[in-house]
Each structure stands twice: as C-alpha cells, then as structure tokens.
C-alpha cells in the first residue's frame, strides 16, 4: 500500500493513471496527451508498474500500457474503511466536532471578565457499588486517576487531600503521550471545601492558563445517595471568576466531565463485579472447607 500511495502521490503520475483509465495507450501517445517528454513519461510509467498500478506489453515497436484496477480498488476500500471509522456515530470525531461548535459559541461570548460567572452544569449517574466504594473512587488518587479525565487524556500528576482545606492538583497529558515528550495538556489546582465520607464532597478547582493564571473557578458539589442497587451520584458545577481566556475550558466542561463520569461508571461496574465474584468464590470455598471437616 505504501508503494501504491507513493506512486499515485505525484501529479504527473496521477495524470497518466487518469489517461489509462480511459483505455490502454502507448508511451508516445501518453507523453503527448500529458504534454511531457517521452523519457520522463517512461520513468513515471515504470514507477507505476513497480507499484502494481499498470501493466505493459510490447507490440511491434511500441510498448502499450494498461491500468490494473485491483490495486486501486484495494486502496479505495482502505480509504472507505478509514472514512467509516471517522464517521462512526458518536465516535471521537463526532465529539471533536461537537466540542468545536461549542468552542466557537463560547469564544464569541467571552468578551469581558466574568462572562461565564454563574453558569451551572448538572450531571447524574446511577453507579454500582455502595457509597463507601464510590467515595473511594472520588477521593483516592490511584482510583481517581482511572477516570478523572476525558477519553483522550490521562492523569500524569494527582494530589487529592480529601479533608476540608485539603489541596488538589490535577495535571494531565494526551492519553497516547506515553513517554511524556508532548506538551502537558492541562493543569488544575484547587482546595476541598467539605468532605463527609460516603455522603458529600465539595471542592473548588481552577484550570490554569498557559501563563499560570486561573481560567475560572469551578465550584463542584457531589452528593451520594444509597439505592437498592448501588449509589446515585448528583454533581453540580458552578463557575465563578471566569476570564476572557477561559472560553476553551468552559466549552469542554459538559463533554469532558460527562466522559469522565462515564469512565467512573465503568470502573465501578468492573470493581463491583470483581467484588461479587470474589465473595462468591469465598462462599464456595467456605462450603468446601466446612464439608471437609465433617
């Protein structure tokens, strides 16, 4: 495929392929129609032949070239698969375009300091697991790191001191930046306001601008309610101290935090399943042990 793409990338060779798609032609005729010198045309055709795009036969004094369609069809199929992947409903590109639309609107709105103050967001999730398990995922750094970023990011530094006045630091990179050589994608700093284990968590968190200033302050309030099947999580966001340069951050709140909570939901579902499996195994082992002692 690389040889095929390289061969077709040259405009002169693409012109020859277009001419041969109409019908087989000789080198001389192709050179005339392409308005090129014959030796140059011959070299281009040789490249295309090595790439499997064309084939040739000598007829008398002339060499006739014809197009081979199989390679082009394979390339077309590969390109269609790429397009289908990009166009998948609800996929990453759709999310990117949704963010782009929001970004444009927020940038137009961000004309003065305080432009987004008072803006609120609300998120709700029904989570597997007892409130104590959910609380652990909300406050313990190793568990927080599993979910506390959107899909395309990963936590690279995290401090979460889950007590009133406790310090919060969150730094994140691109999820595929394995060696940390790319620029840091973002950093936020804040403080815990209230922490009642298994019940209520409130904190303030501020994304940092490239110059180190605060983009805005997010007041995040999380309430946990036990249910028959797990825990209902109710999250309220409220913005204060918004700067003109905070539009890019504000535009990503609904999508980004929503994706984070989806990851939290998945992590808790997995942990709860593992816990139930372990309990079942323990129960069966107890039964075996008790029978063996009779």
Average pLDDT over residues 50-74: 94
Tokens for 201? 């968590």
Instruction: Tell me the residue ranges of DSSP E strands in 162-278.
Output: 167-174, 186-196, 200-207, 217-226, 230-240
> Hey, which residues does 124 pair with through a beta bridge?
234
Which of 86-90, 146-150, 182-186, 284-288 has the weakest average pLDDT?
284-288
Strands 167-174 and 186-196: antiparallel
**175 falls in which pLDDT band (50, 70, 90)?**
very high
Same domain, 192 and 133: yes
Alpha-carbon gap, residue 128 to 285, rounded angstroms: 25
In a domain, 26, yes or no: yes
- State the CATH number of the domain containing residue 203: 3.30.530.20
Per-residue pLDDT tens over the stretch 153-173? 999 999 999 999 999 999 999
Which of these three, 61, 80, 99, is where a domain ends? 80
CA angle 163, 167, 170 (to 5 degrees): 120
Task: Residue 11: give the domain boundaries.
Answer: 2-80
Q: Is 60 helix (H, G, I), strand (E, B) or coil?
A: coil
pLDDT above 90 for 291: no
Residue 96 within any structural domain of the chain: no
- Is the pLDDT assigned to residue 286 strictly greater than 80? no
The mean pLDDT of 182-210, rounded to a whole number, is 97
Alpha carbons 118 and 220: distance in angstroms, whole number: 13
Tell me: do 73 and 120 sit in the same domain: no
Between the alpha carbon of residue 237 and those of residues 122, 218, 242, the distances in Å are: 6, 6, 13
Q: How far apart are CA 146 and CA 35, in angstroms?
A: 61
Q: What length is written for the chain?
A: 294
How high is the pLDDT of residue 61? 87
pLDDT for the residue numbered 37: 96
Token duo for residue 80: 């269609």
pLDDT of residue 270: 86
Q: pLDDT tens-digit profile of 209-262? A: 999 999 999 999 999 999 999 999 999 999 999 999 999 999 999 999 999 999
Pair (76, 16) in one structural domain = yes
Asked if residue 156 and residue 273 are part of one domain, the reply reads yes
Does the pLDDT of residue 284 top 90, yes or no? Answer: no
CATH of the domain at 27: 1.10.10.10
Q: Are both 68 and 120 inside the same structural domain?
A: no
What residues have CB less than 8 Å from 225, skipping those under 6 apart?
131, 231, 232, 234
How many domains are contained in the chain?
A: 2
Pair 223, 268 in one domain: yes
120 and 68 share one domain: no
- CA 277 to mean position of chain CA atoms: 31
Answer whether residue 253 is part of any domain: yes
- Between CA 232 and CA 253 the distance in angstroms is 21
The pair of three-digit structure tokens given for residue 51, joined into one six-digit string: 């790439």
């Amino acid at each position: 495929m690389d040889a095929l793409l390289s061969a077709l990338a040259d405009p002169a060779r693409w012109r020859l392929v277009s001419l041969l798609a109409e019908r087989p032609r000789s080198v001389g005729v192709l050179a005339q129609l392409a308005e090129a010198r014959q030796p140059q045309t011959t070299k281009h055709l040789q490249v295309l032949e090595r790439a499997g795009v064309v084939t040739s036969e000598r007829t008398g004094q002339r060499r006739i070239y014809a197009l081979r369609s199989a390679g082009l069809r394979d390339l077309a199929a590969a390109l269609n698969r790429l397009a289908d992947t990009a166009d998948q409903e609800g996929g990453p590109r759709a999310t990117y375009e949704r963010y782009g639309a929001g970004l444009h609107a927020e940038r137009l709105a961000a004309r003065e300091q305080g432009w987004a103050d008072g803006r609120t967001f609300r998120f709700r999730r029904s989570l597997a697991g007892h409130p104590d398990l959910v609380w652990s995922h909300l406050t313990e750094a190793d568990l927080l790191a599993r979910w506390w970023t959107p899909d395309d990011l990963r936590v690279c530094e995290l401090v979460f001191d889950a007590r009133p006045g406790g310090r919060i630091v969150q730094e994140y990179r691109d999820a595929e930046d394995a060696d940390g050589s790319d620029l840091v994608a973002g950093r936020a700093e804040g403080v815990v306001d209230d922490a009642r284990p298994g019940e209520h968590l409130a904190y303030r968190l501020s994304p940092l601008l490239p110059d180190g200033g605060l983009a805005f302050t997010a007041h995040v309030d999380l309430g946990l309610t036990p249910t028959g099947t797990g825990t209902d999580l109710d999250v309220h966001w409220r913005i204060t101290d918004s700067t003109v340069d905070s539009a890019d951050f504000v535009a990503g709140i609904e999508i980004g935090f929503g994706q984070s909570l989806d990851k939290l939901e998945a992590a808790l579902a997995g942990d709860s399943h593992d816990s139930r499996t372990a309990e079942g195994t323990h129960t069966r082992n107890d039964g075996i042990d008790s029978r063996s002692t009779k």
